[in-house]
Structure 1
């Protein structure tokens, strides 16, 4: 009986690891955005009514706290300061205030910042925490089956 209880406890622990419950500590006014490997996400800077946008600068914070300027929206134009960066051709402007990141990889997880400059001179900052999960649908399904088998093992003996 004790053996079954220990195996069940171990199975539950392994299941929590298998499901990859990635969690970051949110900062105030941070919006979490969830994506899956291979998918795409939209990061939308919220603009109050009546405010005219002069520029939006999009940044990505690396693990070592280095900040990369990854895109700029200036008066209807889309610019990439370094098109050869880690994002390559995976970034695009979806509309006047939205950045689209395509073909997500796990390493895209992290903090993105939109520095919005209004024509009035105000410059608020909006922060997004992107969490990219999964590897591929087939691998996720395989991992789930393995985890379920581990949990069911005590009941099969």
Structure 2
């Protein structure tokens, strides 16, 4: 009897791991791609403006508190000290920032996770093109910003 319960627990654990493993790999389960003609171009421009502005400041060694365009959580998390550290690491891996090109926009299928994701391929002086991800909350504030090695599927 105990052996059977342990076997069930192990099988359930494996099923849960596989299920969540699939979720982490398959953006189509949690997000839906926004058709090209329905993309909010103002948010694309805002993403570029914010990113360009941050990099312009960083290249001049200006590391300042984030503006009101960011959520309070982002303002607390991405302190000037964290910006400096991130910039130094990004620069050592990818080189100097040159711009970014929109790849896709994703909206959540359900109530969670929240926010609209704008995925860009970054253009840097070194050959790698990382993902620059900007997430806007429902009030139009940046609630997330990442730079990651590019993967075709959302990770």
Whether the TM-score (by the shorter chain) exceeds 0.5 is no
Higher strand share: 1
TM-score range, shorter chain: under 0.3
TM-score normalized with structure 2 length: 0.27
TM-score normalized with structure 1 length: 0.27
Higher helix share: 2
Q: Which has the higher contact order (CA 8 A, sep 6+)?
A: 1
Larger radius of gyration: 1
